[in-house]
A and B are shown apart, each in its own frame.
Chain A
Amino acid sequence: MPATASRTMILLVLAALGAAAHASVVTSALDFGRDVRPILSENCFYCHGQDATKRKGKLRLDTLDGQRAKDVVIPGRPDDSLLVKRILTKDADDHMPPLDSNRRLSEEQIQLLRRWIVEGAPFDGHWAYQAPQRPAEPKVKSQGWVRNPIDRFVAAKLDAYGLEPSPEASRETLIRRLSLDLTGLPATPAEIDAFLADTAPDAYDKVVDRLLASPHYGERMALPWLDAARYADSNGFQQDGDTYQWVWRDWVVAAMNADMPFDRFTVEQLAGDLLPDATREQRLATAFIRNSLLNGEGGNIAEEQRYVLLFDRVDTTATNWLGLTMACAQCHDHKYDPITQKDYYSLLAAFNNVPESGTAGYITAKIRSADPLLDMASPSQKASKARLEKELSEAREEMKRQQAAWELRATTGEDAVADGAVLDLLRRCAEQDEKERNEKLRKYFEEKVADRLPGKPAQAVKERENALNALKDDYPMVMVMSDSKPRDSYILNRGNYESPKGKVSIDVPGFLPPLPPEAPRNRLGIARWLVSKEQPLTPRVIVNRMWQTFFGLGLVKTAEDFGVQSEPPLHRELLDWLAVELRDSGWDIKHLQRLIVTSATYRQVSRVTPALLERDPENRLFARAPRFRLPSMLIRDQALAASGLLVRTLGGKPVYPYQPKDIWDSLAITKERDFSYPQSSGPDLYRRSIYTFWRRTVAPADMFDASPRQTCKVRASSTSTPLHALTTLNDPIFVEAARALASRVMALPVHDRLGAAFRMVLARYPDEQESARLERSLAKQLARFQADPRAAEAFLAVGESKRDPALDPVQLAAHAAVCLGILNLDETVSRQ
């Protein structure tokens, strides 16, 4: 319902910015891109935009020429301009937008269009398609508040809207916020104490430096990248075979920890294989492209599936780096953005030279992946494989030899054969197809004869085959890129792989800066172009996503779309400044992140006052720090870390933490492989959530609001439902963490225990009221467990780790129950 949607949008804008925003719309000069194009785009471009096949009346409103043609827009004369006349007409046939289109302009929008024409109808290209320039840092009233240029842009807007920044948050809040944002783990009591005691002026910066250097930084920062890269550990269709893409996941974490510049990070993942003298790691990086869903269903049409993969690569590249929705141009020229169908297939051509069929191949019953594969095995794995292969081939030779000998004996009657048909075969009684004959004899020999002969040759073969398969289940062969199969690429009529039309060659969208003439016309050229100095979109898209990580919402809310239909950013100067800073710093991600987290903007309290809630409910002006629920992976990690259960090993094979019974089996209706969940035991139960095996068809049970890891997702959803509450209350890992947390404080004096546990999670001590409530809670839990000590034992038995037998079970259980409550506080699951 576009009409309702646009009305809602205006309401939202007004509500979001309060009266001041409205006043600014009325008083300051209109900006075509910010104020006018969104109205035209939403209401007119569908028929009067870029898609020539849908264009009505040969009229287009998305270009200056189009607007000036045929008196459509006459600068200074709204009433003579066809645009306004057709909007205002009472004639139902002439009315625009057409009455049956579900699109309607509001009175405010009509007035705005008139004013724009009165002001001379200035036209401007879409802001995001023009390279960002470093804007001048504005002068602001609250000079003393400013810590770095970010704050100037924020303060200037606050000045304009008549708002004040919020005070700086307490050190406890800050260290928890920083630790969760940068490493996804809570600060330890020792770290908190050190920070509180540090009176040096750079105490805060030292914490930031320490966290940026932590090996857990990469684990935290990889999470949104894995969502964007639709990373999973299985391929997502029938049989849902496992893959070895986790080796690439470790590459990402390592690259982030090493502060790999983002331009290199980009080029290696999109085209590492095409770099001169590409290293194994650089080829591994290209697994990024191969993380897609991969269909191995029986009967599928390989070429159709191959195009599904190609479309996914274009969409992922466009969304992830350019913030563009190119998928529309798969079937027709884009309705809103200047992306043609030719642009789409010219980019697709860059991914079209891979030696792949389009479907998943069979490695073992468990592993299904597809060429090209990169052998990432360890030397000892390689040696074992070579040995098993050699043994297998020897066993097969031995079987052949024995078969030949048996055939001779059987033919001469030396070895009796009861089966007449086989005898006929052996004696070549009738004319036979040679191949068929050999096959039948082989089968008969292996099944009926071989294993009564010395050395049981068939069994020997089988054993070696099994051993080799078992090895292959664990032998990392990662799906990576290669351009070794050149193919011609075509525009596909309506996106149908069976209807190719014009041939295309590799190129970038025409409305963006061109590929430099010397650039290679392949993925490497495209990758370098994405991070070139002229590129307007990539730096903006990336800093916006970074902002989203720290503020919950991007400066452009639609992180996945920077096209003309996207929200014009209120903080465009700040966005552009950050984008230029990122690019000109040599794409130094940690540098940008340091700037953000050391800004005064970031260091504010997150308290929401009624006035702020009224004026700016989404906090688009940053008059306070944001407050948002942690991603569910981090909620789990936090509980593990605070309770001391966390096993901090980095990287490696995926692990299988607790999961309710039968989740995998019940969804799999296949006998081809064992779908029971191979739950880990010992340390692997307590690894960070990033290492949990991600089955694409059924995500880990306790990770709610997670990206489905099917297509590129650059904006996480954060909702609040009863199912989440049930998870953090009842999932064994949270119950076990509560017990472990309680165990950590039982040695303390009685009245210090709950406060200490509280602080391990929240980095602060409870206030007086909170303490009182916690104590009352403890008393109630204690009474219950004292009345039923066996219940205490049962509660303490949850989870694989054992309770400390030296502790009184009733006391421990009561404390653990209250700790479970602490792990479920809103403050715990939120970052503030």
Chain B
Amino acid sequence: MTTTRRQLLARAAAGIGLSALGLPLGGLSADEATDWGAAPGALPGLPHFAPKAKRVILLWQGGGASHIDLYDHKPKLDDMRFKDLPDSVRTGARLSSMTAGYKSWPILPAIKPFKAYGQSGTFMSEMLPHIGGMADDICLIRSMQTEAVNHAPGVAFTLTGSQVPGRPSIGAWLTYALGVKAKDLPGYVVMTSTDKGRTCGQLFYEHYWGSGFLPSRFQGVRFRAEGEPVLYLRDPAGIAPPQMRDLLDDISELNHHRFETQGDPEIETRIAQYEMAYQMQSSVPDLLDIDKEPKHVLDLYGPDVQRRGSFAFHCLLARRLAERGVRCVQLMHSGWDQHQNWSTQLEEQCRDTDQPSGGLLQDLKQRGLLEDTLVVWCTEFGRTVFLQGDRNNPKGFGRDHFGRAYSVWMAGGGVKGGHVHGETDEFAYNVVQDHVHVHDLQATIMHLMGIDHTRLTYRYQGRQFRLTDVHGEVVKGILA
């Protein structure tokens, strides 16, 4: 064979694990499911140091989830309903053009009371009993800051490090750097879901899981809720699997024959990829077949788990993907954009997402997977403490976008459980302690995965690019 293993790895690997190609994986045996240090396709020298987490599950909460109503407890606001937010507090925040021209800034307290959860007594909304139930495993960051005022730039900024589309997403960086252990699944899987009412005017752009200037095999593969989970996964009508097997064997032999005369190692790569395609035709349906999950496990995720395409269903699949060695699972859920439907939609949104999120943590924990799985609950920005719209119309008012202070949380691999990091002022408007910029969050995720974010770079257009641009500090205060 003229192709060296290294060449083949470099060409074929990474997006998809290689062990399924029947290649010897030097030093790795198939059942070394826990040793991901040198997964197939990893860059030399990576991870930079021992990782605390081997995989990431991103629970993206699209639309801008309100920190004021969910995580940042400000009981004093209850007595200030509709009073004007003091000018001294407001100074300098960049607001969207929907509210920037306001003349008054009536305070809108949290929609529901908060309560203390767990041993740690972390305060969260009573609308989040299941996430709250895992409070002792959760590290809540109340001091997030972003630069974006709008959804698409805000999501892109958090997931790719740049507000303008075109940079690789976190998942692409991770699979590019660390390779993939999964044998017959993509290393980076994305699933999208929407709130039941489809209230939120957002689109899920492919660049949210794009590979930017990295080779396109690192882009996330979206498993779809409609039709085939992976595009073109099913054999053509009338072709039974054994028949396709025959055809693939014929294609493979003809390609081998061609390789003998042409000598191009790309031909061997193509043969391997066709084989992998065949394997995915069974591994993906197997992944989606949740019938064998016991009832007590399904119950963790709530009733929606039975509905294909729901956030709950995706949370369960996230666990199944984690078990199968997938490096990055990115669940994109929308519906948090409560400009006008705060009083009607917010609680419903919590009902749809709280139990699946809490259930996922519990399920991972029961299986011992939470130790080395990093779960990140994240949104593009928070919402204003002041009311947007007509204060006399509770059915039609809400809160506007707000990036100067908001909340996210992490759990599992390497972060402190039952911990709160950072603090805002009494209006949840300005961070007063331990601010965490989006680039800091990214640096921290990379750190937990064993990557020094300043050293993972890719040369493009004559420059070394990295996820965190030239910024980002690991948030030491949340590391376990």
Contact = CB atoms under 8 A, between A and B. Distances in A.
Contacts of B143: none
Nearest to B242: A784
A239 interface: yes
A618 to B, nearest CB: 11
Contacts of B192: 666-667
A373 interface: no
Contacts of A820: 236, 247
A821 interface: yes
Nearest to B388: A299
B98 A730 contact: no
Contacts of A1: 45, 455-457
B424 to A, nearest CB: 22
A795 B265 contact: no
B226 A662 contact: yes
Contact of A102 (B94, B99, B335, B454): B454
A48 to B, nearest CB: 17
A721 B462 contact: no
Contacts of A238: 151-152, 201-203
Interface stretch (A20-28, A110-118, A453-461, A557-565): A557-565
A726 B202 contact: no
Contacts of A722: 16, 273-274, 276-277, 279-280
Interface stretch (A259-267, A589-597, A668-676): A668-676
B227 A661 contact: yes
Contact of A708 (B11, B165, B459): B165
Interface in A234-259: 236-240
B206 interface: yes
A798 interface: yes
Contact of A662 (B216, B224, B464): B224
A237 B205 CA distance: 8
Interface string B164-178: 111000000000000
A797 interface: yes
Interface stretch (A175-183, A441-449, A519-527, A604-612): A604-612
A794 B28 CA distance: 44
B194 A669 contact: yes
A702 B149 CA distance: 34
Contacts of B447: none
B288 interface: no
A550 B237 CA distance: 38
B210 A726 contact: no
A529 interface: no
B170 to A, nearest CB: 17
B93 interface: no
Interface string A126-154: 00000000000000000000000000000
A472 B255 CA distance: 51
A794 B238 contact: yes
Contacts of A827: 255, 258
A465 interface: no
Interface stretch (A90-98, A271-279, A290-298, A346-354): A290-298
Contacts of A661: 226-227
Contact of B165 (A627, A710, A795): A710
A356 interface: no
B200 interface: yes
B240 to A, nearest CB: 7
B155 to A, nearest CB: 11
Interface stretch (A425-433, A505-513, A533-541, A774-782): A774-782
Interface in B188-215: 192, 194, 198, 200-207, 210, 215
Contacts of A698: 205-206
| Size range of the chain B interface in the assembly | 35 or more
Interface string B423-465: 0000000000000000000000000000000111101111110
B461 A319 contact: yes
A321 to B, nearest CB: 14
B217 A719 contact: yes
Q: Which of A1, A821, A830 has the most CB of B within 10 A?
A: A1
B411 to A, nearest CB: 27
| Size range of the chain A interface in the assembly | 35 or more
A489 interface: no
Contacts of A87: none
Interface stretch (A189-197, A300-308, A477-485): A300-308
A701 interface: yes
A826 B268 CA distance: 9
A500 interface: no
A354 to B, nearest CB: 19
Contacts of B206: 697-699, 708
A471 interface: no
Contacts of A300: 96-97, 149-150
A610 B273 contact: no
Contact of A237 (B152, B239, B281): B152
Interface string A734-774: 01000000000000000000000000000000000110011
A634 to B, nearest CB: 16
Contacts of B263: 607-610, 613
Contact of B227 (A5, A660, A813): A660
Contacts of B281: 726
A357 to B, nearest CB: 11
A629 B277 contact: no
Nearest to B45: A4
Contacts of A563: 462
B452 to A, nearest CB: 9
B16 A721 contact: yes
A558 B265 contact: no
A229 to B, nearest CB: 15
A298 B201 contact: yes
A796 B238 CA distance: 8
A817 B251 contact: no
Contacts of A672: 201
A451 to B, nearest CB: 28
A730 B277 CA distance: 11
B232 interface: yes
A632 B426 CA distance: 56
A423 interface: no
A697 B270 CA distance: 29
Contacts of B334: 669
B235 interface: yes
B463 A299 contact: no
Contacts of A418: none
Nearest to B334: A669
Nearest to A230: B166
Contacts of B166: 708, 710-711
Contact of A671 (B198, B237, B262): B198
A495 B276 CA distance: 46
A704 B216 contact: yes
A405 interface: no
Contact of A299 (B98, B231, B264, B280): B98
Given A4-B45, A708-B207, 15 more contacts: A1-B457, A300-B96, A565-B463, A613-B2, A613-B263, A660-B227, A662-B224, A669-B335, A708-B166, A710-B207, A727-B232, A774-B254, A780-B246, A798-B237, A813-B238
29 contacts: A1-B455, A240-B203, A300-B97, A325-B462, A325-B463, A336-B463, A563-B462, A565-B463, A566-B462, A607-B262, A660-B231, A662-B227, A665-B226, A669-B198, A669-B204, A702-B231, A708-B210, A720-B270, A722-B280, A726-B277, A731-B232, A773-B253, A796-B238, A817-B239, A825-B255, A826-B266, A827-B258, A830-B266, A832-B262
Interface of A: 1-2, 4-5, 102, 236-240, 293, 295, 297-302, 304, 308, 311-312, 319, 325, 327-328, 335-337, 558, 560-561, 563-566, 606-610, 613, 617, 627-629, 660-663, 665-672, 697-699, 701-702, 704-705, 708, 710-711, 717, 719-727, 729-732, 735, 769-770, 773-774, 776-777, 780-781, 784, 788, 790-798, 813, 817-818, 820-821, 824-827, 829-830, 832
A-B pairs with the 9 shortest C-beta distances? A795-B238, A565-B462, A299-B96, A794-B238, A662-B226, A722-B277, A725-B277, A561-B462, A608-B263
